[in-house]
Amino acid sequence: MASIDLGEVAVPETAIAWKFVRASGPGGQNVNKVSTAVECRLDLDAAGIRGGLRERLERLAGSRLTAAGEIVVFVDTHRTQSRNREAALARLAALVEEARPEPRPRIPTRPTGRARARRREDKQHRSGVKKLRGSVDPSDN
């Protein structure tokens, strides 16, 4: 069984479904006769993508993810079907590459002693400024 490389992830050919349709927009007579636009569907279940990579892929895919667990990529930028097909595979590979690295865990930090002291000083200064905004006694004139 043949596989397609999406970045460093090998996906079986059976996990990718292709659909060719007519492209929209200007293009003269060619656009009305030839189905050059490509719709590529990557079935995540059939591809065997599991765990954290799948979760990151689903999050990155956003609205391109269907309820059936497929990522849909539509390309109609080129005039030929083969170039649109290559572009669709490149977009899928870019999406997989972006999802591949695991995010680094956040290490909680605490403010330094000087930062806490500066914050208290700023609060005291601000409090003093606001106290000076009190009402004016008319008998002081």
Q: In the chain, what are the domain boundaries?
A: 3-99
User: Tokens 């005291």 sit at which residue?
Assistant: 124
Q: For the chain, what is the largest distance between any 2 Cα atoms, rounded to a whole number of angstroms? A: 96
pLDDT digits (tens, 9 = 90+) for 51-64: 888 899 999 999 99
Task: Beginning with the edge strand found earlier in the chain, give each strand of the sheet holding 37-43 in spatial order.
Answer: 16-21, 37-43, 70-75
Please report which residue ranges of the chain form alpha helices under DSSP H. Answer: 29-33, 44-47, 51-61, 81-99, 113-131
Handedness of CA 119, 123, 126, 132 (dihedral sign): negative
β-sheet bridge partners, residue 20: 38
Which pLDDT score is estimated for 59? 92
Q: What is the pTM of this model?
A: 0.68
Q: Which CATH number fits domain 3-99: 3.10.180.10, 3.30.160.20, 2.60.120.620, 3.10.110.10?
A: 3.30.160.20
